[in-house]
Structure 1
Amino acid sequence: MPQYLELSFQGYFLSTDPAKLDLKTIHQFLAYESYWAQGIPMAEVKKSIEHSLNFGIYQGESQVGFARIISDYATIAYLGDVFILEEHRGLGLSKWLMKAIMNHPDLQGLRRWVLLTSTAAELYKRYGFTQLPKPEIYMEKYDPHVYQRHQNQPPLKPPRGIMDDCTNE
């Protein structure tokens, strides 16, 4: 049975047990309140959680915060979908969440951490995050309308020959 991180702080509980996650709360926040995942379908939220190390914060049985890590657990980690519900902000929960993430035993010794933020840079700076020192070497493929375009459509199949350039030589 996997070992899950579980901590308590001022009447709140943090857990990495995915069975405790409230998918409805997470989806509600991401799809309707976040600036980065507007319109994300529930199916995509479920899929993202299935492939991540998830951190949930709870007050009693209610989920009030969330973050997830995508990592190979050896060299790199991406921190994403971080939130504390508005009525629970200002209580130190985001700092507690970040401390738990940064101290998680499976996330030690990584060469690089990555995250995107337009609202909480000061929080992340406390934990060693900095602006990109060489933004000219950073690249991304970004599709801001992916959720709206793909809602209610079957998954696309790759065109014939799409893997032609990926041969083993």
Structure 2
Amino acid sequence: MRWPGPDGFEADDDAARIDVDVVHGFLSTSYWASGVPRDVVARSIAGSLNLGVYDASGALVAFARMVTDQATFAWLADVFVLESHRGHGLGRFVVSTLLDHPELKGVRRILLATADAHELYRSYGFTETEPGRIMSIRRDPAELYTQS
């Protein structure tokens, strides 16, 4: 499915259109996925509902993915806009379009993690989760990525 965006940009949820090299290039230097191997990025895309944002030439310039069962739960992850394309409202475009995706209608819990964009996500209705309810297991990516 495609959505028109600001300034001639377009969003598309076709996973086959995602340029894995662009996504890997960004994520492997991000604070949340530093050093992530390309094959891990490719598998994460294959197992998610993805949204790419493309410029007029068809190049991927922004991305987000939702890890979801498409019924009750979703996790918003790997949201980014390439630095060269910031200032066009593409961060808001990719997030709002993905949150409104038809395959997510009825999902009752959407989570995310962020170190630096709390105000952006609050504008969509996200709140910080109350302590004592949500638990997680955090594994060291350095150890995981070196295992075969």
Q: Which TM-score band applies after superposition, normalised by the shorter structure? A: over 0.9
1:15 aligns with 2:9: no
The two structures, once aligned, show a CA RMSD in angstroms of 1.4
Q: Structure 1's 21 and 138: CA in aligned 2 closer, same or farther, altered over 3 A?
A: same
Indicate if the aligned counterparts of 2:6 and 2:89 stay in contact, CA closer than 8 A: no
Kindly state the Cα deviation for residue 135 of structure 1 after the two structures are TM-superposed: 1.5
**Gap runs ≥5 in structure 2:** none
Q: How many pairs align?
A: 147
1:92 aligns with 2:85: no
1:30 aligns with 2:27: yes
The whole-number CA distance in structure 2 between the counterparts of 1:79 and 1:85 is 18
The whole-number CA distance in structure 2 between the counterparts of 1:72 and 1:110 is 9
**What whole-Å deviation, never above 9, does each CA across 1:107-145 have from its counterpart, x for those lacking one?**
11211110000111111111110111x2212111001x3
In structure 2, the residue matched to 1:159 is: none
Kindly state the Cα deviation for residue 20 of structure 1 after the two structures are TM-superposed: 1.0
In structure 2, the residue matched to 1:129 is: 126
Which structure is richer in relative contact order (CA contacts within 8 A, separation 6 or more)?
2
The whole-number CA distance in structure 1 between the counterparts of 2:106 and 2:124 is 14
**What whole-Å deviation, never above 9, does each CA across 1:75-133 have from its counterpart, x for those lacking one?**
1110000000112112211111122112111111211110000111111111110111x
In structure 2, the residue matched to 1:5 is: 2
In structure 2, the residue matched to 1:149 is: 143
TM-score with structure 2 setting the length? 0.93
Matches within 5 A, 1:46-125: 46-59=42-55, 60-125=57-122
Q: Percent identity?
A: 40
Deviating runs (4+, > 3 A) in structure 1?
150-153
**Gap runs ≥5 in structure 1:** 155-169
Kindly state the Cα deviation for residue 151 of structure 1 after the two structures are TM-superposed: 3.9
The whole-number CA distance in structure 2 between the counterparts of 1:152 and 1:116 is 24
Indicate if the aligned counterparts of 1:6 and 1:16 stay in contact, CA closer than 8 A: no
The whole-number CA distance in structure 2 between the counterparts of 1:122 and 1:26 is 24
